């Protein structure tokens, strides 16, 4: 057997739907020597991480902690704990990740009603009200920031609406946390999940979740055991709660990373961070539209951190992204589901929401489009971005 050489991957600028580039301070924190997962020092680090996570989620929920796994595990944590076999659930789908919640809810034994909207669109309150009235579900699940379409769902009134009908609101905040406002308490969200590798500028591997007191009561009132032992919050809350009772061996270095990523977010300030994402989005949008690219999401619901645009007719999706990666070292995402081969997804999340990334990807995309036979005015994208910044 030939032993592989030391790791030395080519440098990449990660401007896809995630992961994004980790903040240098986060990478540095990960080199901190390990502690035992029940060491008093590490327990204090856990407490600090939870406290900062509550601030970023804008909540006082005591049951707020990072699941030791990626974002989809957070999705599963929320659904497997709140849904029992036979429960009614409404899942709103207008993209790939809404469909994933349908699959998980079904595996929990729920009677799932799917509320659909065209990809790239969102739901209004009247549509949600009609679904709640007709189904009377235990859970309404909705994606706050749909990564596959670049659409931002307004959920500011959805929690109050759910509670009017005795339902719990579950939200996918994977692409929103740390990039756009997420106000769990003000919006009366009952369960939310996110990830570490996007707006929080950490590597993938942690999924921050938060359960409201109403959601915790629903978990405690279950008639059956949670189908997942590892993701059962009735057990996990003893580890991440006051008792610190052993549940699993936490990924120590990833907790270090998340703690530092949250410190970076709070040092910048939430409002300043949100404004930065909007500013860079508007510059990128001006540049992309100057290159002739059209957004997949409506103008009233476009995500600032995930820009999904339609690929021009006749342009080879895979070939262009491959050239962008090999010649320019820039990764962008292709489309999923209904948008496979039809859309590019350009992320400006966390650490990567900055003018340097905007100008780099616009200049490179111009070369790619010209090479694919698309007529583009020389320098149009960069010039439009410069004007937007000015």
pTM summary value: 0.96
State which residues form the domain around 279. Answer: 270-389
In a domain, 1, yes or no: no
- The CATH code of the domain that includes 235 is 3.40.640.10
Looking at the structure, do residues 249 and 278 belong to the same domain, yes or no? Answer: no
Output b/e per residue, 146-166; b: 16+ Cβ within 10 A. bbbbbbbbebeebbebbeeee
Per-chain mean pLDDT for the chain? 97
| CA separation for the pair 183, 68 (Å, rounded) | 23
Confidence label for 314 from pLDDT (cuts 50, 70 and 90):
very high
Res 71 pLDDT > 80:
yes
Same domain flag for 160 and 101: yes
**pLDDT score of 70:** 96
User: Within the chain, where are the H helices?
Assistant: 24-29, 40-57, 71-82, 96-107, 125-135, 158-164, 213-220, 233-240, 252-268, 270-290, 317-328, 355-371, 380-389
Same-domain status, 188 and 82: yes
Phi and psi torsions of 126, nearest 5° = -65, -40
Tell whether 165 is covered by a domain.
yes
Task: Say what the pLDDT of residue 243 is.
Answer: 80
pLDDT digits over 82-97, tens only?
Answer: 999 999 999 999 999 9
- 236 and 313 in a single domain? The answer is no
Using the predicted structure, report yes or no on whether residue 342 has a pLDDT greater than 90: yes
What confidence tens digit (pLDDT) does each residue in 185-232 have?
A: 999 999 999 999 999 999 999 999 999 999 999 999 999 999 999 999
Q: What is the pLDDT of residues 121-153, one digit of tens each?
A: 999 999 999 999 999 999 999 999 999 999 999
Q: What is the pLDDT of residues 239-288, one digit of tens each?
A: 888 788 889 999 999 999 999 999 999 999 999 999 999 999 999 999 99
pLDDT for res 195: 98
Query: What pLDDT sits at residue 305?
Result: 98
One domain for residues 223 and 123: yes
Would you state the pLDDT for residue 339? Answer: 96
CB 17 within 8 A of CB 175: yes
114 and 140 within one domain:
yes
Average of per-residue pLDDT across 166-188:
98
> Does one domain contain both 164 and 210?
yes
What is the rounded distance in angstroms from the CA atom of residue 51 to the CA atom of residue 153? 27
Q: Hey, is 191 helix, strand or coil?
A: strand
Number of domains composing the chain? 2
**One domain for residues 55 and 164:** yes
Residue 359 has pLDDT above 90, yes or no: yes
Domain stop point among 266, 281, 301: 266
């Amino acid at each position: 057997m030939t032993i592989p050489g030391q790791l030395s991957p080519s440098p990449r600028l990660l401007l896809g739907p995630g992961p994004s580039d980790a903040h240098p301070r986060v990478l540095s924190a990960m080199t901190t020597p390990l502690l035992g997962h029940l060491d008093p020092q590490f327990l204090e680090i856990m407490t600090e991480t939870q406290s900062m996570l509550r601030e970023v989620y804008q909540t006082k929920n005591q049951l707020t902690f990072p699941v030791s796994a990626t974002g989809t595990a957070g999705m599963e944590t929320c659904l497997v704990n709140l849904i029992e076999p036979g429960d009614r659930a409404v899942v709103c789908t207008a993209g790939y990740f809404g469909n994933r919640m349908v699959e998980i809810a079904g595996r929990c034994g729920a009677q799932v009603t799917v509320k659909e909207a065209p990809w790239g669109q969102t739901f209004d309150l009247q549509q949600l009200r009609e679904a709640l009235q007709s189904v009377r579900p235990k859970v309404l699940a909705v994606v706050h920031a749909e990564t596959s379409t670049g659409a931002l769902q307004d959920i500011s009134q959805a929690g109050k609406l759910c509670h009017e009908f005795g339902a719990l609101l579950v939200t996918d905040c994977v692409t929103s946390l740390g990039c756009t406002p997420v106000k769990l308490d003000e919006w009366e969200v009952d369960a939310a999940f996110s990830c570490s590798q996007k707006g929080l500028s950490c590597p993938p591997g942690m999924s921050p979740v938060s359960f409201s007191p109403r959601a915790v009561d629903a978990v405690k009132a279950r008639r059956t055991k949670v189908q997942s032992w590892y993701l059962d919050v009735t057990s996990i809350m003893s580890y991440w709660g006051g008792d610190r009772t052993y549940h699993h061996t936490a990924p120590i270095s990833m907790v270090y990373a998340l703690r530092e990523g949250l410190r970076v977010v709070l040092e910048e300030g939430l409002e300043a961070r949100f404004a930065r994402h909007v500013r860079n989005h508007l510059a990128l949008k001006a540049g992309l539209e100057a290159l002739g690219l059209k957004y997949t999401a409506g103008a009233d619901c476009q995500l600032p951190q995930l820009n999904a645009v339609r690929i021009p007719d006749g342009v080879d999706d895979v070939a262009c992204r491959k050239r962008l990666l090999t010649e320019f070292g820039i990764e962008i995402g292709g489309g999923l589901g209904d948008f496979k081969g039809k859309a590019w997804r350009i992320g400006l999340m966390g650490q990567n929401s900055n003018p340097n990334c905007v100008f780099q990807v616009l200049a490179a995309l111009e070369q790619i489009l010209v090479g694919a036979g698309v007529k583009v005015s020389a320098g149009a994208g960069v010039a439009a971005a410069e004007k937007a910044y000015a």
